[in-house]
A and B are shown apart, each in its own frame.
Chain A
Amino acid sequence: MKKIERKDFLKLGGGAVLGGLSGWVFSGAPFLGFQWLAEWTQDQYVPVKGFEKYAQAVSDSCPAGCKVSVRMIGDRAVKIESKDGVCPACHNALQLTYHPERISTPLKRKGDKGDGKFVPVTWEEAVKEISSKMNSLITEGKANSIAAINKNESLNGQLMEKFIKAAGSNNVYYEPSLKSLTSSALGGYINYDFANTDYVLSFGAKLVEGWDSSADMQKVFTQWKTKGTKIVQADTVCSMTASLASEWVPVKPGTEAVLAFGIANYLITGRRLNSTGEEFGKWSQLIINKFPLAKVASYTGVSEERIKKIGDDFSKAKNPVAVSGKGACGVNASSAEIIAVYCLNTLVKSKAATLMTNSSVTYKGEFAGLDSFIKDGKFSMLFLNNSDPVYKSVLGEDLKKKMEKAFVVSINPIMNDSANYADIILPSLSFLESETPENKAVVSNFKESKDAKDIIIALSKSLDKTKDTFSFASGIDSFKVAGKETASGAKFSFNVDKIKNDIDALDKKFAANAEYPLFMIPVEAPLVGDGDGLAFPYVLKSIDPTVFYKGKLLVQINRETGKKYGLSENESIVIRSARGKLDKVYVHLTDTVAPDTVAMPLGFGHESYTKYGSDKGVNPKKIMAADVDPLTGTADWWSTRVKIS
């Protein structure tokens, strides 16, 4: 064997190194390295290009029917613009449409209820399962155990009401709203002629913070500012409405109704005004005897002189209007309060408040309202039409237990706390994907999801009993049968017998309570509202650090009260009411809140509202007061007696 010379050895070694190097170069590894380096330094995502155009859309899922103009790049919607104003839900429709956690196919429950385990099924299977279940209930004569909870009175809610009623059940409910509450208390919801009023007396209605139709209210507010309309706001916290109002009347928590009694008392006895409502005599006697001004002043913290002054101003204004319905997106008021405030309108013969009805919507079922249904109702089958009562109702925990024993169908585009307890989930659309008579859909349907109207029509066609409910096969035709709004014509009644107990109970409510010395009242953050906004990152981006900061939900407490309880800023506290406790709440000391009050942000503490909305803060509804109002069938959760430790 030839001996390897030193030179050959070096040649061989050099060749190996060269070969290795060239192999490495040709393998592409260095180029991949450059790519990594480039990605690491310039790691932008480049949005897909396309032609720019604007598409028009009208929301069919919000009761206000927001009209928007959508900027499109190719087939992608990139911006929602509106000349007429748009409600927060419609403004966020872009992030709903492109939400990474959209439900793509019909789902069937796999594990236990509440586990959140679902498997995809086909539309045929899902509809078949629902219709066979419904059929068997109808043939057994248990049609009335089929129930539905609608989110609102939009067209798909109206179709759902028709469908369930055709199946033989009376149990159709709506998530409590200003319309549903006033309808139940007064026999019609109030159409306010805000444009022509010169004096607005608001009892805790946060008029510019999402109350009623928020887009319209913003416009109304601009008109008020230019015309110099006087706005008087009774409120416990220095809300934006209170701050922008011409006059803020700070009231003790939950005493808005008592203030209304006081003003009514003064107008009846002091200024000899009369209401035409039925049972006015009985009601006025009750109020005059039970709520003399001195008592009202001590309950509300508003002096007698000021009550008289408000009464005088209100009755002397040209076209005054009194507004009830405390809150912004989440509205709450007892029927006694709604009636008392409406009474003020009738006392001064206000032309700005008319009672209306919608021909396709009745807010009452077998029970007066959603909360009384949850409390006392029985159901073996429940439809949830985009609603989330498990999260939004103070009786959500009770509803969960009842839902565990029933067959639950949920129609919604993304998961929520209630859908987590469903047996079947049917994916619906964002309004950008649904067609209206005026406009085509802006973007195409997400995967297998379908329009809620089409889903309800398909369900009704699948049953013998309900197959003739709708004379059309497609949701687009249902716009023809949309309910008409008309003046209710119903005579307003004080319903004294029904609300007397509640009025009597007020004394007990405001009496000193050693065990629960504080009151908890809700506040809302912009865009978050009463919880719908939390699944959208651009809403999370707007949350002020004094409301929610790095996973901590902050409750607002007056400085003096804080001192009394030895609280410091950002300190963790536990809030207890007779119904339970909330931990992991932190303190923000601020004098924008009345003393002895805990101002609690609504909208946080979802259990399963996509990864963006879940596990952020706590849901105070769990411990809020749950006395159900006899007329509205809704719990009066506004002010809850609590203690902190």
Chain B
Amino acid sequence: MKEKVKEVKMKRRWGMAIDLDKCTGCGKCSVACNQENNMPIFEDDSDVPKRVAFLELMKVTNDRDAKFPDVKTAYLPKMCQMCEGNDPKNPNPPCVSVCPAVATDVGDDGVVSQIWSRCIGCRYCQTACPYEARVFNWWKPEYEGSFKKSLSTDVSVASRGTVVKCTFCSHIWKRERDAATAKGILDINAVLYTPACAGTCPTGAIVFGDLNDHDSEVYKLTQTDRAVRLTNPVDDVKDADKKKSLLKAKQFTNPKVYYLTSQQWLRDMMRFKKNS
């Protein structure tokens, strides 16, 4: 029996593709994420430095480089980019190696996890994260009065002094797996799931799925020319051999969150390039 369990290999490598040409900036992903992940409610959540949220609805424009009316605006939903390092088989995100408490780790499904209650609050991971995707609970997460009633039991409430982050709603996967187990399906790879942000996106701009499954929509989207990742310079190298040698010599984040856009200014901005 034990051997049989060992044989079951994780097939999944969860990833996301966000089509910025389809994103209208409605903010539904943000609300759904907050509801799903029990985001703390402070007296004034418009206070940005104090704000705790997994998904940031970033408003971006090219107004520094272009003049009215040649400007453009876009919203960029930014969550944990789920870095895997150079080798997907041996993932190595920048935040994981610095954690002294093993509070953050990367699973065999590629999801960079975080266990709030294990975190000692040193914030090394927050410093190491190139995407500012991690937030620190400087204050005790509060839920005033009856707001507590809207809390989900699937995500634990963090205490003060811990780092929290987006986990691709991996508790939903667990929930779906539990439901499958109840039906007698024991194969971990038999279940797919949708995180809160992707599930609520009204224009279908956020697509979530398995990057190892080459028939999945998300994989196909990441292979198009429109795909671009936040500040990942290895994507600019078109020569396959050079890319390979670079991947051996240098450390890259290799995020599993892809953005899709055909707007050049947006692509440039995501790579810190000046608009030419």
Contacts and interface: CB of A to CB of B under 8 A. Distances in A.
Interface of A: 41-50, 71, 73, 76-82, 85-86, 88, 91-92, 94-95, 97-100, 102, 208-210, 214-215, 218-219, 221-222, 225, 238-244, 248, 250, 526-527, 537-551, 558-559, 590-595, 611-612, 616
Contacts of B152: 47, 71, 73, 78-79
B167 interface: no
Contact of A98 (B67, B141, B146): B146
A592 B204 CA distance: 26
Contacts of A46: 156-157
A371 to B, nearest CB: 29
Nearest to B47: A550
B24 A221 contact: yes
Contact of B150 (A81, A98, A540): A98
Contacts of B66: 591
Nearest to B67: A591
A44 B22 CA distance: 38
Nearest to B36: A79
A67 B254 CA distance: 39
Given A45-B148, A47-B38, A595 B203 contact: no
A591 B63 contact: yes
A224 to B, nearest CB: 10
Given A47-B152, A537-B147, 15 more contacts: A45-B143, A45-B151, A76-B150, A98-B149, A225-B22, A225-B203, A238-B69, A240-B73, A243-B73, A243-B74, A244-B21, A527-B26, A538-B41, A551-B47, A591-B63
B58 A44 contact: no
A43 B148 contact: no
Contacts of B199: 81
B158 A538 contact: no
Interface of B, helix, strand, loop or mixed by DSSP: loop
B267 to A, nearest CB: 15
B47 to A, nearest CB: 6
Given A208-B24, A222-B22, A611-B43, A542 B31 contact: yes
Contact of A50 (B57, B68, B153, B196): B153
Given A79-B36, A593-B68, A595-B68, A91 B28 contact: yes
Contacts of A241: 24
A79 B159 contact: no
B220 interface: no
A48 B39 CA distance: 16
B145 A100 contact: yes
B interface bracket (residues with beta carbon within 8 Å of A): 35 or more
B157 to A, nearest CB: 4
A76 B149 contact: yes
Given A591-B71, A595-B68, A47 B203 contact: no
Contacts of A91: 28, 31-32
A542 B57 contact: yes
A546 B60 CA distance: 10
Nearest to A94: B150
Contacts of A222: 22, 202-204
Contact of A41 (B61, B75, B146, B159): B159
Interface string B18-60: 0001101111101110111011011111111101010001110
Given A98-B149, A549-B48, A594-B69, A538 B202 contact: no
A288 B66 CA distance: 37
A91 B72 CA distance: 28
Interface in B129-150: 140-141, 143-150
B36 to A, nearest CB: 6
Contacts of A214: 26
B30 A541 contact: yes
Contacts of A71: 152
B51 to A, nearest CB: 6
11 contacts: A44-B141, A73-B152, A79-B32, A91-B28, A97-B150, A98-B146, A102-B146, A225-B22, A542-B53, A611-B43, A616-B44
Nearest to A208: B24
A103 to B, nearest CB: 13
Interface string B202-225: 111000000000000000000000
Given A43-B159, A78-B150, A221 B203 contact: yes
Contact of A537 (B27, B42, B59, B200): B42
Given A244-B21, A593-B68, A44 B157 contact: yes
Contacts of B44: 540, 551, 612, 616
A44 B45 contact: no
Given A44-B156, A526-B57, A541-B53, A591 B68 contact: yes
Nearest to B40: A537
A541 B54 CA distance: 10
Contact of A219 (B57, B59, B159, B202): B202
Contacts of A73: 152-153
Interface string B72-104: 111100000000000000000000000000000
Contacts of B53: 541-542
A35 to B, nearest CB: 15
B28 to A, nearest CB: 6
B22 A538 contact: no
A230 to B, nearest CB: 15
B69 A248 contact: yes
B248 interface: no
B12 to A, nearest CB: 23
Counting from the closest, the 7 A-B pairs by CB-CB distance are: A100-B145, A218-B202, A250-B69, A526-B27, A47-B151, A540-B45, A208-B24
A208 B21 contact: no
B133 to A, nearest CB: 16
A523 to B, nearest CB: 11
B244 interface: no
B21 to A, nearest CB: 7
